[in-house]
Amino acid sequence: VKNHKTHCYAYKEKPMNIDALLAKRTRNMETNAIREILKVVSRPGMVSLAGGIPAPDSFPMAIIGDLTAAVIARYGSGAFQYDATEGFGPLREALSGYLASLDVTAAPGEILVASGSQGVLDALGKVLISRGDDVAVEAPTYLGALSAFNPYGPTYLRMDTDENGLVPESLEEILRHHSVKFVYLVPNFQNPTGRTLPLKRRRQIARILQENDALLVEDDPYRALRYQGKDLPPIHSMAPDNVIYVGTLSKVFAPGLRIGFCVAPSPIRRWLVRVKQGVDLHTGTFSQALAAEYITSGSLGRHLPRILDLYRPRRQAMLRALQDHFPPGFAWSRPEGGMFLWVSGPAGMDMETLYEPCVRRNTAFVPGKYFYTERGEGVETMRLNFTMANGNAIERAIATMAEVIRKGV
Ligand SMILES: Cc1ncc(COP(=O)(O)O)c(C=O)c1O
């Protein structure tokens, strides 16, 4: 017994070298800088313009009980059973109709359900990216996409953007000189800039993809969150053979349910199914059944206007506050939808220097440089979220930021 104890103590004193066990790809998984920022900003009293999540009061809590009862009545234990990797049949049916309203033509059998659109992005990385493969991304781009792709070791090619999103000539130039595995793009109310591609550019991009036989991942989580202006058709509708359309119910239902989906050319779809079989067999059946009921009962159509009514004045409050408080030399996007504004300061200014003094005054934002794949880019920018805080809190937070900008630390 004594010997055994000694052995145990010796074992404890020299912990296993976990680092030596890590796979090569694991070292590509950097911690998500924004997650680190969000840990700080969750403290009480903080007005966070840093997050990228829907407001809890946007969730249709009043009808969740009824939806749950309807799911149990309709599907019984089937809603709690293992199910098809491709997705719960009634949800794929419902999504087919929902997607038609978004100009995405897809039969139920062409739709794959995933655990959030994040689940689609990871699966695409697994299926398409080998170490060193070229992937073209906007500068700046969605950080979560980089987190999904990084483990597979891509080389990122940065595409230029301006106030109207991706510059098509930049894409054309890249495709002319590189063999790109895929292009990743958020066309509507982009995360982080809030920018939207105009129709003319969508058509140009579709043509460029077709001419170069290139594949686009069109990630479109914010499309339905339009507060003003005219809806625009997805690039998928212009070049369906060249586009994987990725969507989610996270912004129009509830992100915790983890319901995302994609429509992909069939050879890719088959590989995505094999990947998902290995990852999680399928997305939670109950969540999927709830989502199917939310769509088919008409609840989505009735609830969406309420979400828009909640966010519209918040966006307006932020634009007004920026106008009222920010000093000359600053510019910002004026998105017609989505969740974010993008602010640029005078050239040479480092937005990160504002971060600590703002947090000390209970106001948080995300420095824009984190959304770039190349170091040194975007230091004078920041992302502001306008969906989490109410109008008064937004006004106060922007006034505080303006004060920090004027007076410094
Ligand atoms: C551009 C973009 N894509 C994908 C996602 C992931 O969303 P989900 O996995 O909840 O569908 C987000 C979340 O904020 C996003 O902004």
pLDDT of 10 > 60? The answer is no
**Omega cis (within 30) before 187:** no
Please, what is the average pLDDT of the chain?
A: 94
What mean pLDDT is predicted for residues 333-346?
A: 97
Closest atom, ligand 1, to C-alpha of 250:
10
Pocket of ligand 1 (CB under 6 A): 52, 116-118, 142, 144, 186, 191, 219, 221, 248, 250, 255, 260
pLDDT by residue (tens digit) across 287-335? 999 999 999 999 999 999 999 999 999 999 999 999 999 999 999 999 9
Closest atom, ligand 1, to C-alpha of 142:
1
Largest separation between any pair of C-alpha atoms in the chain: 79
pLDDT of 113 > 50? The answer is yes
Q: Which residue has the tokens 């992005």?
A: 121
Q: What are 367's strand-pairing partners?
A: 382
**Per mean pLDDT, which range of 14-18, 128-132, 292-296, 311-315 is the poorest?**
14-18
pLDDT of 155 > 80? The answer is yes
- The confidence band for 4, taking pLDDT boundaries of 50, 70 and 90, is low
Higher local confidence (pLDDT), 23 or 156: 156
pLDDT by residue (tens digit) across 189-214? 999 999 999 999 999 999 999 999 99
Tokens standing for residue 115: 């655990």
- The confidence band for 85, taking pLDDT boundaries of 50, 70 and 90, is very high
For residue 83, the Cα-to-chain-centroid distance in whole angstroms is 26
Pocket of ligand 1, candidates 248, 252, 288: which has the most ligand atoms within 8 Å of its Cβ, to mutate? 248
- The confidence band for 24, taking pLDDT boundaries of 50, 70 and 90, is confident
pLDDT by residue (tens digit) across 35-66? 777 777 777 888 889 988 899 999 999 999 99
Closest atom, ligand 1, to C-alpha of 119:
9
pLDDT at position 1: 44
pLDDT by residue (tens digit) across 215-272? 999 999 999 999 999 999 999 999 999 999 999 999 999 999 999 999 999 999 999 9
Closest atom, ligand 1, to C-alpha of 251:
10
Share of the chain above pLDDT 70, in %: 96
Share of the chain above pLDDT 90, in %: 85
Instruction: List CB contacts of 101: < 8 A, sequence separation 6 or more.
Output: none
pLDDT at position 14: 76
pLDDT by residue (tens digit) across 367-403? 999 999 888 899 999 999 999 999 999 999 999 999 9
Cα 403 to averaged position of ligand 1 atoms, centre (Å): 32
185's enclosing H/E stretch is: strand 180-185
Cα 253 to averaged position of ligand 1 atoms, centre (Å): 13
pLDDT at position 41: 74
pLDDT at position 25: 86
Instruction: List CB contacts of 290: < 8 A, sequence separation 6 or more.
Output: 64, 67, 68, 71, 257
Instruction: List CB contacts of 139: < 8 A, sequence separation 6 or more.
Output: 158, 159, 160, 161, 372, 373, 374, 377, 378
